Amino acid sequence: MSTKTKAKTKRTKKNDLEGLRLPELWERFKEATGESTKSPNRKFLIRRIEEALAARTEEPPAPSADEALPPARRNARSAEPTPETSVEGSAPPKQRGRFASMTIQELQAKYLEVVGRSTGSDDRRYLIWKIREAEKGRINVGPRKTRARDGEPLNVKILPLRLEADVADKMDEAWRSRGIKNRMEFFRGAIGHYLAHLGARDAAALFANAGATGS
């Protein structure tokens, strides 16, 4: 695939993600990363999904034991009876590898040890893949660093607020009718007003310049 075609495919995938509703992004996030989230930050969700998908496609799958054999030996081996067919009622072959006998809890503990941060994922394949990627030095390890938005200081907190669409529409209509410039100004003024009502004067004073025209 040419570089131009790859870039076009990447743009198409990003456009697909941007067209998803927030709950659909959360589902796609869990599929890609193995982690659950309720973050309302669409840019963060899309970036993490793209990073996870890119990391998986960069590494070609390792050949199986049979694929690594010469063709003649591989054909001879394919004719051998499997453990399931050689003896009626026999148990399926056991999984191999150092992670085969580990429980989800043990894999999560190993993830914390190798990746350097905890995870709530219970996806076995994802946990094993992430541990191996960390051991190979292909991903960043340690606690995630907080990223500020463009021009936004790190000491700012973004507070999520969910409202039904019709409730939000009526609220917006109310503050616009009072000459308030934007929703942020309305929220800050409303918070300051209610803090004063609660008797929290010091906290309310921090919002003294917000809310503008109406009381």
Per-residue confidence (pLDDT) for residue 30, from 0 to 100: 87
Per-residue confidence (pLDDT) for residue 110, from 0 to 100: 93
Per-residue confidence (pLDDT) for residue 211, from 0 to 100: 43
Do 172 and 166 meet the contact criterion of CB atoms below 8 Å apart? no
Per-residue confidence (pLDDT) for residue 109, from 0 to 100: 93
Q: In which residue are the tokens 């907190």 written?
A: 157
As a whole number of angstroms, the distance between CA 136 and CA 171 comes to 52
Tokens of 129: 């893949």
As a whole number of angstroms, the distance between CA 56 and CA 139 comes to 11
Give the list of residues 6+ apart from residue 77 with CB closer than 8 angstroms, or none.
Answer: 66, 69
**Is 201 part of a structural domain of the chain?**
yes
Per-residue confidence (pLDDT) for residue 87, from 0 to 100: 46
Do 99 and 106 meet the contact criterion of CB atoms below 8 Å apart? no
**Is 156 part of a structural domain of the chain?**
no
Same domain, 19 and 51: yes
Same domain, 8 and 49: yes
Q: Which domain holds residue 187?
A: 165-205
Q: Which stretches of the chain drop beneath a pLDDT of 70?
A: 1-15, 57-96, 145-156, 209-215
Measured between alpha carbons, how far apart are the two ends of the chain, in Å? 63
Give the list of residues 6+ apart from residue 74 with CB closer than 8 angstroms, or none.
Answer: 66, 67
**Is 72 part of a structural domain of the chain?**
no
Does the reported pTM lie above 0.75?
Answer: no
Which has the closest alpha carbon to 115: 167, 75, 202, 55? 55
Per-residue confidence (pLDDT) for residue 208, from 0 to 100: 74
Q: In which residue are the tokens 């570089």 written?
A: 3
> What are the Cα distances from residue 2, in Å, to 6, 14, 16, 76?
6, 18, 21, 39
Per-residue confidence (pLDDT) for residue 3, from 0 to 100: 54
Same domain, 139 and 171: no
Same domain, 105 and 140: yes
Counted domains in the chain: 3
Give the list of residues 6+ apart from residue 211 with CB closer than 8 angstroms, or none.
Answer: 180, 185, 186, 188, 189, 190, 192, 193
As a whole number of angstroms, the distance between CA 4 and CA 15 comes to 17
Domain's final residue, options 38, 61, 84: 61
